């Protein structure tokens, strides 16, 4: 993209303009989202939600063991682990055995507390309550089974430790026991006295180790007793249901009012996104703002869309219907063009476009008619020798015309046609016989003299030229006139084509007066004002 474009940040007015231009896209997106917001709740079958709350606690085995063994594997218990257990295969198997099948149940933690919520969704009210209670009961049963199993496993481990400690104690007292046996069978008092001294010495050596073993045996024995007592309390201490689910009285489907509110918010966002997307994907010129912002060129006027006016009638709006919206728009173009001429003497204007069928001939005729309406003598010349159209609009002969004057010397007065409806101030010069090489014809000195003659014969000459991009004729013609007017068709002329047109004219030093946007949208208020004004004039 060339440096003629001006990059800017969209403000609120830009978004409003985009929505005005892309309202169909925005409306379609809004209707789709709102339709989904309304349709989905209506099409969705009723569903009921029931909830059971379960309080979880540390298992008795963990409680007993953690009194002395501060191991992180025993101390760490998170709600995430409990949720995993509740959603695991063991609990699901218990539920299937209880209700004869699976259920749609989700498990979540209640904040940071040790409470789990079992939320069941079912097509029936009773089914939802049964499923929630069944899952909660299955979870509690599994927790209790695991607690019992952990108690049994811990008890077995402690009993094994007691046996090992007992064997260690017996092994430690082996020497003392042997000495005591010898004492019982001593043959003399002297021998008995010696054995008693040996026994006392042996007991002294093992006293400290024996004390440690006895202390450990007592501690382990206490844990075994605690585990035995805890086994009877396990069903109450591991997990318990604190709130039982009851059959809900109303469906849990999203209320239509809430769905509408959410749909409206989402639809508004989608509408704006669709409008912006359509605007970004559209590479055509759609408004005068596009021309001003992208190319920094004046917009001489925006010609409104007129579906109720035929093509032939559209060409003659300033001549036959000057008070129509289209006629008034071209009068505005004339005023803007005359204002731009205040600083210089302009005797000739070339009207062209980027591509064919973008309103250049319609603009040439109506601009000439608007200039003639204020008393200017206007020479309207058809210099589009490839696809001439002025003779068709005014129902005159194409031959003789300008080419015949240049190639055969036909006098201008024989080919000139004066339009009576323009107070004899508008003279039309048809194109004439198709020349063998239009590009060469418009580049001759004779054609430059013809332009100067047309400027002398009238107050201003308006030249209806070929489009810029397909052929080079208009480029050569642009150097012979005082100003160039470019027409662009809203929603059709691409930004790249208009940019190439402007660059081409700038390269040859053409004086671009501005752009006329043809087929622009006009607000209903404007038409209503014009309609009311027309009724007042006819009254």
In whole angstroms, what is the distance from residue 473 CA to residue 453 CA? 20
Q: Which of 463, 452, 453, 316 is nearest to 384 (CA)?
A: 463
pLDDT of residue 69: 43
163-208 per-position pLDDT tens digit? 888 888 888 888 778 878 888 887 788 888 888 888 888 888 888 8
Listed residue (132, 108, 134, 135) closest to 122, CA to CA = 132
Which helix or strand (DSSP H or E) is residue 52 part of? strand 48-56
Neighbours of 61 (CB within 10 A): 25
Dihedral sign, Cα of residue 6, residue 9, residue 13, residue 16: positive
How much is the average pLDDT of 217-236? 68
| DSSP 8-state class, residue 39 | H
Is 204 found in the same domain as 96? Answer: yes
58: pLDDT strictly greater than 60: no
**Domain identity same for 144 and 102:** yes
Confidence at residue 526, expressed as pLDDT on a 0 to 100 scale: 45
* Residue ranges making up the domain that contains 276: 12-44+254-280
Give CA torsion, residues 56, 60, 66, 69, to 10 deg. Answer: -140
Q: Which of 17-26, 282-291, 375-384, 411-420 has the lowest mean pLDDT?
A: 17-26
Tell whether 248 is covered by a domain.
Answer: no
pLDDT at 334: 95
Residue 75, domain CATH: 3.30.1890
Q: Are residues 371 and 403 in the same domain?
A: yes
Query: Would you state the structure tokens that stand for residue 514, as one six-digit string?
Result: 């501005």
Domain CATH number, residue 299? 3.40.50.300
391, 382 Cβ separation under 8 angstroms: yes
What was the pLDDT predicted at 307?
63
Query: What pLDDT score does 301 carry?
Result: 94
Decide if 297 contacts 514 (C-beta within 8 A): yes
Task: State the pLDDT at residue 439.
Answer: 93
| Residue where a domain stops, chosen among 234, 263, 280 | 280
Whether residues 91 and 144 share a domain: the answer is yes
DSSP code of residue 255: P
Specify the pLDDT at position 528: 39
Q: Helix-strand-coil percent breakdown of the chain, rounded to 5?
A: 60, 15, 30
Q: Which pLDDT tens digit goes with each residue over 433-456?
A: 999 999 999 999 999 999 999 999
CA dist list (Å): 522 to 468, 495, 530: 28, 21, 12
pLDDT in tens, 362-416: 999 999 999 999 999 999 999 999 999 999 999 999 999 999 999 999 998 899 9
| Judgement on whether residues 489 and 510 belong to the same structural domain of the protein | yes
When the pLDDT of each residue in the chain is averaged and rounded to a whole number, the result is: 83
Q: What is the pLDDT of residues 252-281, one digit of tens each?
A: 766 677 788 888 899 889 988 888 888 777
Q: Which of 291, 405, 419, 442 is nearest to 366 (CA)?
A: 419
Most confident of 238-242, 245-249, 304-308, 324-328: 324-328
Same domain, 117 and 24: no
């Amino acid at each position: 993209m060339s440096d003629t474009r001006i990059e800017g940040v969209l403000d609120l007015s830009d978004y409003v303009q985009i929505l005005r231009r892309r309202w169909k896209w925005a409306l379609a997106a809004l209707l789709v989202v709102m339709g989904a917001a309304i349709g989905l709740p209506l099409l969705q079958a009723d569903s009921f939600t029931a909830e059971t709350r379960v309080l979880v606690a540390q298992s008795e085995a963990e409680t007993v063991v953690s009194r002395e063994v501060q191991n992180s594997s025993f101390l760490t218990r998170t709600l995430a682990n409990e949720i995993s257990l509740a959603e695991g295969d063991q609990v699901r198997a218990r539920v299937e055995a209880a209700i004869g099948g699976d259920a749609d149940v989700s498990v979540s933690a209640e904040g940071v507390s040790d409470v789990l919520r079992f939320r069941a969704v079912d097509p029936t009210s009773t089914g939802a309550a049964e499923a929630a209670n069944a899952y909660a009961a299955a979870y509690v049963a599994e927790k209790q089974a695991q607690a019992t199993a952990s108690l049994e496993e811990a008890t077995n481990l402690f009993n094994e430790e007691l046996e090992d400690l007992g064997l260690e104690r017996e092994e430690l007292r082996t020497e003392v026991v042997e000495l005591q046996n010898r004492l019982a069978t001593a043959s003399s008092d002297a021998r008995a006295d010696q054995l008693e001294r040996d026994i006392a010495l042996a007991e002294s050596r093992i006293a400290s180790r024996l004390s440690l073993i006895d202390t450990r045996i007592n501690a382990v024995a206490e844990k075994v007793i605690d585990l035995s007592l805890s086994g009877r309390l396990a069903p109450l201490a591991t997990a318990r249901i604190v709130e039982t689910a009851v059959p809900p009285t109303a469906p849990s489907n999203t209320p239509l009012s809430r769905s509408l509110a959410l749909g409206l918010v989402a639809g508004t966002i989608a509408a704006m996104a669709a409008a912006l997307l359509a605007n970004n994907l559209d590479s055509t010129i759609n408004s005068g703002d596009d021309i001003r912002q992208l190319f920094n060129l004046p917009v001489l006027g925006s010609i409104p869309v007129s579906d109720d006016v035929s093509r032939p009638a559209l060409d003659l709006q300033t001549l036959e219907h000057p008070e129509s919206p289209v006629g008034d728009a071209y009068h505005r173009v004339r005023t803007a063009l005359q204002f731009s001429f205040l600083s210089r003497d302009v005797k000739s204007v070339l009207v062209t476009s980027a591509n064919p069928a973008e309103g250049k001939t319609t603009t040439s005729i109506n601009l000439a008619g608007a200039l003639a309406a204020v008393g200017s003598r206007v020479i309207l010349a058809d210099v589009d020798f490839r696809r001439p159209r002025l003779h068709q609009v005014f129902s005159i002969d194409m031959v003789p015309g300008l080419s015949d004057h240049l190639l055969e010397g036909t006098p201008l007065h024989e080919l000139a046609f004066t339009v009576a409806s323009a107070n004899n101030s508008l003279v039309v010069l048809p194109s004439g016989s198709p020349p063998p090489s239009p590009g060469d014809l418009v580049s001759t000195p004779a054609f430059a003299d013809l332009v100067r003659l047309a400027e002398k014969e009238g107050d201003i000459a308006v030249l209806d030229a070929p489009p810029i991009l397909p052929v080079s004729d208009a480029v050569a013609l642009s150097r012979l006139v005082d100003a160039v007017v470019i027409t662009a068709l809203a929603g059709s002329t691409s930004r790249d084509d208009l940019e190439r047109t402007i660059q081409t004219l700038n390269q040859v030093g053409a004086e671009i007066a501005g752009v006329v946007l043809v087929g622009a949208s006009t607000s209903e208020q404007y038409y209503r004002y014009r309609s009311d004004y027309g009724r007042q004039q006819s009254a």
